[in-house]
Each structure stands twice: as C-alpha cells, then as structure tokens.
Amino acid sequence: MSLEKKLLARMTDAATVAEVWDLGIRAEVFEEPLYSAVFNFITDYWLSSQMQSAPTPFALAQEFPGYTPTDDAEETTDWLAHKLQQRYVTNRLQDMLREAAKNSTADPVGALKILHAAAYATAEDVAPRNLRSDMSNVEARRERYAHRHDRPQGTGVPFGIDLLDLHTGGILPGELAVVGAFSSVGKTMYMLNAAAKAVRKGHRPIVYTLEMSIPECEDRLDAFYSGVSYNRLIRGNLSVDEGRALHDAQEELRGLIHVERPNEGERTVASLCARARQVGADYLFIDQLSFMEAGQRVQSLKEHHSVIIKQLKTEISRPGLEMSCLLVAQANRDSLKDGLSISSFSNATEIEQTVDMALGLHRTKDMRANHVMQLDILKSRRSDIASYLLRWELTERTEISVIEEIRE
C-alpha cells in the first residue's frame, strides 16, 4: 500500500484528521489525483462539522467508488505524514533546479528569483498549522517555562536596553514591535544597537535598510558591538586599543548578522520574510515602514501602512515559522507640538489593533545637546506602560544606556 493511501486510511476519526491537519499535510503532497481529492473531501467534511467528525468509510466509498480504504499500516501517523512531506519537498526541489537551469544562462538573476519564490511556496506547503490546544501538552509547557526561567532577561529577542528587556521580556517569536519617532531623532541608531545586542545573546538578525546605506549600517554595528567611539571610528582616528577592540569585534560578527538593502520590487513582506528564513534569521529589523511595498493597489499612505502591518504580523507568526520583528516607523510632523503617542502615526488604528508593542523615541533641543533621549512604551500586550531616560553615548564609546526610569 502506498504512503498516500496508508495515511488516508488512518483519517477515519476527528482526532486523527486533526493530527494530520496540524502536521501541515495539504492536498499538494499527494501525487495521485484520486488521493488528493479524497484528502480534500475528508478535511472539508471535518471542517464543516466544526472539527467534530470524519466521513465514514461508507461515505468515502459513495463519493469515490474506486477508493477502498484499508488500514493495515504499522507506521505511525506522524511518520507517514513526515515521509509524504519529505518526498514532496525532494520532488519540488528537483523541479525547481531543472527550471532554474533552463533560464540560468539567458537570465541568471531571473532564474534565481524564480528559484527563491518556488522555494518559499514549497516551504509554505509543508508548514505545520498547530492552531489548537486542549492543554494536554503539559510537558511542552513546562519546558517552555523552564526555558524562560533560565533566561533572566526574558524569553524574547532583546530591544537593546537591558532594563526594557527585563520589563517586557523582549520580543517573542511571532511578535511585531514598532519603534517610532520624528525624523532625525535616532530610530536607526536605536535599531542597530538592538541588532548588535541580539547577536551577543545568540540570535541571528537580519537588518533591512531601506533608507541608510549598507556601509553606514556596518559602521554603526561595528561601533555598537565593539563599544569603540563611533565618532572616532568614522573619522579614522581610533586609538591603538580601540583598533584592536574593533578588529576583534569584526571577527566575532563575521557571518552572524545580515545587512541588506533590497531593490524596488523586492520590498514586500513576502520577499523580506522569505529572504530572512533563507539565511536562518530569527529576528527581523526593518528600516523603515514607509519604504516597504504593499504588493497590492492601495488608495492612501494610511492604507499602505495598514496593509503592510497586517501582512507582516501574519507572516512572522506563521506556525512553525515564527520570527520576531522590530519595525521602524516615522511619526507625523503634524503631531510634533503635542508630543509622541500612538496617534502620532498615520496608521495608529492598525498599530493599536495589530502590533504587540509600540515604542516611541523623542528628545528636546536641550536633551539633544546633553546626549539624552526619552523612550516611552506606548503600547504593550505583555507589560505595563513605562518611560525611560536614555544616555546616547557616541564620543568616548558607543553605548545606549538607561539613566533612570521616569515615573509619573
């Protein structure tokens, strides 16, 4: 009996159909058209019954006269599903490589794009769903708690400020955080500090710089990671000790962080997330929202931002493919006199409804002169609202640190 028929023969009760569904089995993995149709019939029946029942063998025989299920397989449902997915991915990879090879001479870049898109689609075809829980996964939940307990600064990727990470727990896989400010406040510097801290904590960030050049980002990452003076680094007058520290930091950073500036047409959520998964990143930094592409027709800037935020939240929280994301956004100049708040963003409603955490950075002229900035938690699903006064040190060393927590 084929793998396909063995798996279908197991799907005679709601619990097994649910297991197969959660494992990510889809009709695409079945090579035999009849078995693909049977699978769709079983899952449609199960879904229409509110996931309470599966079609009987008699119902299947009535619908598909040539199909006779017989469950004599010794393998587990999980093993059968895995083998089907493995075969499907192997076959798709071979097809992709053949198709790319046809176009590689005439249009190698186009061939690479086709290969990239096909690989992403294949990964989607076998991604687990895991959309339900009956709380019987006790061991998994205990392990999750133990993992959190072993990481005193939280379970998520860092925001780059230790006190903020302790307060919020960082950004969990599947969560979207936005950091916003008016222009020329330091959003990108803050983001790159967080990226450097993430590497030190064992994460694999990818930075999409849609505004600043890659060399500029590299200089800032080198400075934050090494701690040497950013001002002296860009002027080329580091001390001997700083030069050694920079050299060592650059060796440590080698291959651990990706910095990319996608071309127009490659700035959609799907493209950015596919590339992140391709390089094995678990933490996305995107600078900034206004330069991203919605991939569909929109009527206004507000709609453009709303569409992207929804897409991004959906994409990074796909079961089994979760990533954390810090998105930089520009605040409206119209709200400058009223101070920074959620309403300062053109997409305020979407931030309120969709984003897991929103941070705001702002400073007055006096604060700028004293290298000080205020960071506000404008919205958080998992922590209280708080504000911090930060020191922005770029002269003697490169560091962003907390001066004090501001209490009302």
Query: Which residue, 26, 34, 30, is CA-closest to 65?
Result: 34
Which amino acid is located at 322 in the chain?
E
pLDDT at 230: 94
- CATH fold for domain 153-406: Rossmann fold (3.40.50)
Instruction: Tell me if 164 sits within 8 A of 375, measured CB to CB.
Output: yes
Question: In the prediction, which pLDDT does 152 show?
Answer: 47
Mean pLDDT, residues 211-232: 94
Residues 79-103: tens digit of each pLDDT: 999 999 999 999 999 988 888 888 7
Q: CATH 1.10.3720.10: does it fit domain 3-125?
A: no
The answer to whether the CB of 67 falls within 8 A of the CB of 76 is no
Enter the tokens of residue 293: 């592409």
Q: Does 3-125 match 153-406 in CATH topology?
A: no
Confidence of residue 373 (pLDDT cuts 50, 70, 90): very high
Share of residues in the chain with pLDDT > 90 (%): 55
Count each helix (H run) and each strand (E run) in the chain, helices first.
16, 9
Measured CA to CA in angstroms, residue 370 lies from 94, 97, 242, 392 at distances of 60, 57, 24, 9
> What per-residue confidence (pLDDT) applies to 171?
94
pLDDT band with cut points at 50, 70 and 90 for residue 221: very high
Report pLDDT for 284. 97
pTM of the model: 0.72
Average pLDDT over residues 333-342: 65
Between 73 and 175, the higher pLDDT residue: 175
Structure tokens, 168: 């919020």
pLDDT tens string 301-332: 888 889 999 999 999 998 778 899 999 998 87
- Interval 2-12: pLDDT, tens: 889 999 998 98
**Which CB contacts under 8 angstroms, 24+ apart, belong to 29-36?**
29/84, 29/85, 29/87, 29/88, 29/125, 29/126, 30/4, 30/84, 31/4, 32/2, 32/4, 34/64, 34/66, 34/67, 35/2, 35/4, 35/5, 35/8
* pLDDT in the model for residue 132: 59
Q: What is the mean pLDDT of the chain?
A: 88
| Digit-coded pLDDT (tens) for 26-69 | 999 999 999 999 999 999 999 888 888 999 988 998 999 888 87
Asked whether the predicted pLDDT for residue 147 surpasses 70, the reply is no
Q: Where are the domains of the chain?
A: 3-125, 153-406
Q: Contact 226/245 with Cβ under 8 angstroms? A: yes
